[in-house]
Chains A and B, each alone.
Chain A
Amino acid sequence: MELLLGALILGLAYAPLGLGVFITMRVFNFPDITADGSLTFGAAITAALLVAGVNPWLAIAASVAGGFAAGSLTGVIHTRLRVNGLLSGILVMTALYSINLRTMGRSNVPLLTTTTALTQLERPLGALGMSMPDSTLPPLLLFGTIALLLVWGLAWFFRTDFGLTMRATGDNETMITAQGVNTNAMKIIGIGLSNALIALSGSLVAQYQGYADIGMGVGIVVFGLASVIIGDTLAGVFGSGFNVWTRLVCVIAGTILFRVIVAAALSVGLAPADLKIVTACFVLVAILLPRTRSILRTRGT
């Protein structure tokens, strides 16, 4: 139960990451590895500002803005300077490593004694007589609320005229150019939005875990992708692959389920060191599975 609760909270903290990866991978079909740097960037900005005594909500906002800047930089390098998409992300990710170290001043910043958004919530919740063991209530409420707001906001966004334009940009560039849309600008905004969400995850996770670490973003894009793939599978089960609402809710469910699976695997003896190779293999198999199924089908006929 305790294990499940921890996985639920961590899953909700990583929900913005899942949504961010969903935007680049599924809406734009753009493998954006900036995520590895921008998650840490979000954590680093929050850690530095919290240690300096800045209001935690301002620190979260600053992380989101930093993530947007990092993502749109990848977008600019990719579209305006015409650098391969993957390489654009790698360049920004690598540059962010230095920026993150500079932001934090060292490779690990503990936040156990600083005021965070979570400690700020503890008192009013306590005053209402609401509490749970190990102070799990503030993160559960905060991360859950943020996840719900994001799903609601993105579902709304993707149905506005601007959101339709963004989806069409990922779907068919020729078509949307003919409708008068500058696809470069749309990509820059979209990749920026994705990384703003990913940096938000970094900020939340740092505050929950009580530290920001230079290595916390390593491989995170694969974790995000695993969540999106689990979400897609769930969406497929519900049989509504095109409904934006369902897909976004399934991404959140995917991030939570992914964390539950990770927690379960660790508790039955998976070494934490092996977590990344297992996740990478999972994503590879998940990508190959539909393909082998169609290969088998064509061979059968």
Chain B
Amino acid sequence: MIRIESLTATFGADIPNRVTALHDITLDISEREFVVVIGSNGSGKSTLLNVLAGTVQPERGRVLIGNTDATRLRAHDRAHLVGRVFQNPFSGTAPTMTVAENLRLAELRGVPKGLRRRLDARRIDGYRGHVAELGMGLEDRMGTPIGLLSGGQRQALTLLMATLRRPEILLLDEHTAALDPESAEQVLLLTDRLIERHRLTAVMVTHDMNEAARFGNRLLMMNAGRIVLDAAGAEKQALTPGGLLARFAELRAAAAHGH
């Protein structure tokens, strides 16, 4: 379970034109919720994800992940709780290291790495099973440096790495935005499947209204650092890409008239 309590995050606190990225947000995410977050640029959706990941420190408020108060935990100190997939397919993997070596490091997410050689044939065989399930034919390339693989393949592996050790929460930061349509679709379906299989709690930020309507069981729309729509259950299922776009148009019109 994730709980965010009256969270405020500000950028450039020490300069005149400071930007409040998150404005007193309170949010509860239950176990097994797959939350899709949408919003225009500067709405605060990425900041929300970064606060959960620990790469942005909130100015006020609390962040609880599972039973842990993670508010002051730096990104590497809360890695045992959090699985992350990034927008840039190059961010999630170590390019000169092999598929197996990357998976070994992912298996050790958040636990101490000792002076032992543990990456043996038996373990690699275990990884091979997981990699085969990605359906990308990578099971024969366990010894290949990941940098030689395509963006879609790397993103699928990052996804596998983020879930290899079950996280309390899986954070997906526009993780298909940099892929070609075919790879994006493949990675999205894989995401859905892994979340279902491991019964994960997940937060996915996206720009794509089709994705937002199709995936997840809860949707948050953000605007100017606030949550302006929170739809779950049947309400979420009823949302359409067109409907979401109309909501955005309303927000823009309100902003133009108001203030």
- Chain A residues in contact with chain B, CB under 8 A? 156-157, 159-165, 167-168, 171-172, 174-183, 242
On whether A156 and B105 interact (CB within 8 A), knowing A164-B97, A178-B79, the answer reads: no
A168 surroundings in chain B (CB, below 8 A): 94, 97, 101-102, 105
A165 surroundings in chain B (CB, below 8 A): 105, 108, 113
| Complex CA distance for A157 and B116, rounded to whole angstroms | 8
| Complex CA distance for A56 and B77, rounded to whole angstroms | 43
- Chain B residues in contact with chain A, CB under 8 A? 53, 75-77, 79-80, 82-84, 86, 90-98, 101-102, 104-106, 108-111, 113-119, 145, 162
Contact B98 A174 (CB under 8 A): no
| Complex CA distance for A247 and B77, rounded to whole angstroms | 33
- Min distance, Cβ A228 to any Cβ of chain B, angstroms: 15
Contact A180 B110 (CB under 8 A): yes
In the complex, the chain B residue whose C-beta lies closest to that of A27 is B96
On whether A172 and B113 interact (CB within 8 A), knowing A178-B75, A242-B98, the answer reads: no
| Complex CA distance for A169 and B78, rounded to whole angstroms | 18
A182 surroundings in chain B (CB, below 8 A): 76
| From B86, B97, B116, B162, residue with most partner A Cβ within 10 Å | B97
| Complex CA distance for A204 and B46, rounded to whole angstroms | 54
A163 surroundings in chain B (CB, below 8 A): 115
Contact B109 A175 (CB under 8 A): no
A159 surroundings in chain B (CB, below 8 A): 117, 119
Contact B108 A171 (CB under 8 A): no
| Complex CA distance for A247 and B91, rounded to whole angstroms | 25
- The one of A161, A174, A177 that contacts B114, using a Cβ cutoff of 8 Å: A161
| From A156, A161, A165, A182, residue with most partner B Cβ within 10 Å | A161
- Min distance, Cβ A167 to any Cβ of chain B, angstroms: 6
Contact B79 A167 (CB under 8 A): no
On whether A180 and B91 interact (CB within 8 A), knowing A156-B117, A171-B97, A242-B98, the answer reads: no
- The one of A156, A172, A181, A242 that contacts B76, using a Cβ cutoff of 8 Å: A181
Given A171-B97, A178-B53, 12 further pairs, Cβ under 8 A: A160-B115, A161-B119, A162-B115, A164-B101, A164-B113, A168-B105, A171-B95, A177-B75, A178-B75, A179-B108, A180-B79, A242-B145
